[in-house]
Amino acid sequence: MDILTEALGSMRTAHPASVRTEGRAPWGLRLPPVMGAGFHVVLHGTCWLVPQDGRAEPLMLDTGDVVFMRDGRGHVLADHPDTPALDASAYRVEESLPIGTLSLGGGDGARTSLLCGSYHLDQGRPHPLVRQLPELIHLASGRGSHPELDAAVRLLGAELERPRIGSAGIVPALVDALLLYILRAWFEAQPPATAAGWAAALGDSAVAPALAAIHGAPATAWTVEALAGRSGLSRAAFARRFSSMVGEPPMAYLTRWRMTTAARLLRESDAPLTAVAAQAGYGSEYAFAKAFKREYGRGGGGGDPGGRGPGGPPRGRGAPRGG
C-alpha cells in the first residue's frame, strides 16, 4: 500500500494549475496565496524567491531547482531581491499549448524560465502526513541525490522548450507526477538517525505495516492489539510508537482514514449510502452518519453531516442524515 499516494489522493480536488514564466532581467513577480500548495521549477537561468512574511531570508534558485510551498503562501519571484515586483494580476497569460506563458521584463538582461503553479489540495482537513511537511521544501539540482526528480525536470524543460505531437498530454502528466517526485525526494533525503514523524513512520518496521493495514482495509474491525500483532511489539509499546510518529493514537487515525475514505466516496461517486458506510467500516447508515457528523462537525440544514461543515466534503447524492 502506497501511503504517500493515498494521502495525497485524499486531499487533491483538481488537476494542477501551471504556467510557464519567462523573464528577462530586470523583472519581479508578486504571487498571491493559493488554496493548496505552490510549486516552482527553474528550467533555465536563476532567480530569487522572496518570502513575504518576514520569517525567512530570500532564497536563490538555480537551473533544475524545485521549490514546494506546503500552504501556498504569497511570495515574490525576481531576478534580484531588490528588484521591484508587480502583482501577477497585472500580467496577461498568453494561451498556448501545452500550457500558457507569462512574459516578464522585456529587456536584454539574463533570461530565466520557470514552471510555476499550484496543486489543489484541500487544506481544510489536511492529512497529517502533509501537515508535518516543512512550510517550504527546496530541492537543489545537480547533486545526483534526486535522479528521478532531476529527470522529470529535464523532460518538462524539453517539452516546454520545443512542444511537439503529444506534448499537450505529456506536460500535464509530468506536472501531476512532479508532486510525488518532490515529496518522495524529500522523505528519502531525511537521515534515518534524525528522521521523525511521518518521515520516520513510512519506513518504520513497526508503524509502516500498521499504516498499510489501515489504508489497505479500513473497513476491517481493527484493534490496537491486532495492529500491534503486525508490528512485533506489545500493545502499549506499539501505541506509544505509533502516536509519537503519526501524531495521534492508532484508533484515532483509523477513524480519520475511514472518514476520509467515506468523504471521498461521497464527493466522487454515486455509491449508495449503505455501500459507503460498509467501506468505512460501519454496520449501519445511522452509525456511519453519527460518526461522520462527529468527525466533520455540524453540516448543512437539519444537522446534515454530508453538508459542508468545517472542512467537510460537499454533499453528494445519498449523503447521510444524522438525527
From CA 293, how far away is CA 1, in angstroms rounded? 28
Closest CA to 16 of 44, 35, 43, 42: 35
From CA 27, how far away is CA 20, in angstroms rounded? 15
Task: Provide the pLDDT for residue 143.
Answer: 67
Phi, psi angle pair for 162, to nearest 5°: -140, 80
Intra-chain end-to-end CA distance of the chain, in Å: 36
Q: Work out the number of other CB atoms within 10 angstroms of the CB of residue 227.
A: 26
In DSSP notation, 230-259 reads: HHTS-HHHHHHHHHHHHSS-HHHHHHHHHH
Task: Provide the pLDDT for residue 307.
Answer: 42
Task: Provide the pLDDT for residue 311.
Answer: 37
pLDDT digits (tens, 9 = 90+) for 252-288: 999 999 999 898 888 888 999 999 999 999 988 888 9
From CA 285, how far away is CA 49, in angstroms rounded? 50
Q: At what angle do helices 224-231 and 235-246 cross, to 10 degrees?
A: 90
Residue 102: all three cell numbers together: 507569462
Residue type, 245: M
Q: Percentage of the chain surpassing pLDDT 70?
A: 91
b/e string for 207-216 if b means 16 or more Cβ within 10 A?
bbbbbbbbbe
For residue 15, the SS3 value is: coil
Closest CA to 50 of 32, 27, 77, 82: 77
Task: Provide the pLDDT for residue 195.
Answer: 80
From CA 173, how far away is CA 291, in angstroms rounded? 37
By the 8 A CB rule, do 70 and 33 touch?
Answer: no
For residue 89, the SS3 value is: helix
pLDDT digits (tens, 9 = 90+) for 87-128: 999 999 998 889 999 999 987 899 999 999 999 988 777 899
Please identify every stretch of the chain with a pLDDT value under 50, giving residue numbers as ranges: 298-323
From CA 268, how far away is CA 263, in angstroms rounded? 9
Task: Provide the pLDDT for residue 232.
Answer: 87
Quote the pTM value: 0.83
